[in-house]
Amino acid sequence: MQSSSALGSPKDVLSIPDFRNLWLGQAISRIGDAFYFIGPLFVIKRLFDDDAMVGYVGALEALPYLFLGPVAGAVADRMDRKKILIWSDILSSIVLIAFLIYLMVIPSDPPRWAFYVFGPLLATLRVFFFPAKNAVIPRLVPPEKLMGANAFSAATDQFAWLIGNMLTAALGMVADRYSPGAFLKVMVIANGLSFIISVYFLLKLPEVIPERTDVEESKMFDDIVKGIQYAKKDEVIGLSLLASVGLALFMSPFFVVYLSINKAWFGNKAAPLAIIESCFIIGMLAMSFIVPRMKFHRPGLAYSFGIAVAGVMVIFMGFSPIFALYSFWNLLCGFAIGAVDVPMRTYQQLKVPDEYRGRVMSLGNLIWMGIQPFGMAAGGSLLIILGPIGMHVLMGLGFTLTGLMPLFSKAFRDATLPDMTGEQLEAVLEKSELEEANL
CA-nearest of 247, 257, 378 to 310 is 247
Closest listed residue to residue 167, CA positions, set 329, 28, 287: 28
User: What totals of helices (H) and strands (E) does the chain contain, helices first?
Assistant: 17, 2
Reply yes or no on whether the pLDDT at 323 is more than 60. yes
Q: Give yes or no for residue 86 having a pLDDT over 90.
A: yes
Burial of 182 (0-12, 13-18, 19+ CB in 10 A): middle
Residue 42 forms part of a structural domain: yes
CATH number of the CATH domain containing 143: 1.20.1250.20
Q: Is residue 213 part of a domain?
A: no
Nearest to 78 by CA among 357, 390, 416: 357
181 or 396, which is more confident? 396
Query: Contacts by 120-124 with C-beta closer than 8 Å and gap 24+?
Result: 120/60, 120/61, 120/63, 120/64, 121/95, 122/36, 122/61, 122/92, 122/95, 122/96, 123/61, 123/62, 123/63, 123/64, 123/65, 124/64, 124/68
Say yes or no to pLDDT of 202 above 90: yes
Instruction: Of 420, 345, 291, give the one whose Cα is nearest residue 138.
Output: 345
Q: Is residue 123 part of a domain?
A: yes
Give the separation between CA 270 and CA 175, rounded to whole angstroms.
Answer: 9
In a domain, 82, yes or no: yes
* Residue type at position 340: V
pLDDT in tens, 48-77: 877 778 777 877 877 787 778 778 888 888
CA dihedral 227, 232, 236, 242 (to 10 degrees): 100
Cα angle 276-279-285, degrees, rounded to a multiple of 5 = 145
DSSP letter for each residue of 285-297: HHHHHHGGGEE-S
Residues 135/361, Cβ–Cβ less than 8 Å: yes
Give a yes or no: residue 318 inside a domain. yes
Count of domains observed in the chain: 1
Packing angle of the helix pair 254-265, 51-76 (nearest 10 deg): 150
Backbone torsions φ then ψ of 295, nearest 5 degrees: -95, 110
- Residues ≥6 apart with Cβ < 8 Å to 39: 168, 183, 184, 186, 187, 188
Statement: residue 288 has pLDDT above 90: no
Structural domain of 389 = 2-207+218-437
Predicted confidence (pLDDT) per residue in 94-121, tens digit: 999 999 999 899 888 888 898 888 888 8
pLDDT at residue number 8: 56
Model confidence at 431: pLDDT above 60: no
Provide, rounded to the nearest whole percent, the portion of the chain with pLDDT above 90.
13
Residue 4 identity (one-letter amino acid): S
Highest mean pLDDT among 68-72, 179-183, 285-289: 68-72
Which DSSP string corresponds to 90-112?
A: HHHHHHHHHHHHHHHHSSSSPPH
The three-point CA angle 48-50-52 to 5° equals 145
The per-residue pLDDT for 438 is 46
Residue pLDDT, tens place only, 344-370: 777 777 777 777 777 777 777 677 666
Query: C-alpha distances in angstroms, 366 versus 66, 127, 130, 239?
Result: 5, 9, 11, 15
The model carries a pTM of 0.68
Lowest mean pLDDT among 55-59, 177-181, 243-247, 264-268: 177-181
Burial label, 324 (beta-carbon count in 10 A; 0-12, 13-18, 19+):
exposed
Whose CA is closest to 74, among 11, 131, 145, 141?
A: 131
pLDDT of residue 296: 62
Average pLDDT of 24-43? 75
Q: Is 227 exposed, middle or buried (CB count within 10 Å of its CB: 0-12, 13-18, 19+)?
A: buried
Are residues 415 and 294 in contact, defined by beta-carbon separation less than 8 angstroms? no
What confidence tens digit (pLDDT) does each residue in 160-179 have? Answer: 766 776 676 666 666 556 67
| Domain-embedded: residue 139 | yes
Stretch 420-435: mean pLDDT, rounded? 47
User: Would you say residue 212 lies in a domain?
Assistant: no
Q: Which residues pair with 3 in a beta bridge?
A: 294
116 found inside a domain: yes
Residue 19 has pLDDT above 50, yes or no: yes
User: Which of 287, 27, 273 has the alpha carbon at shortest distance from 163?
Assistant: 27
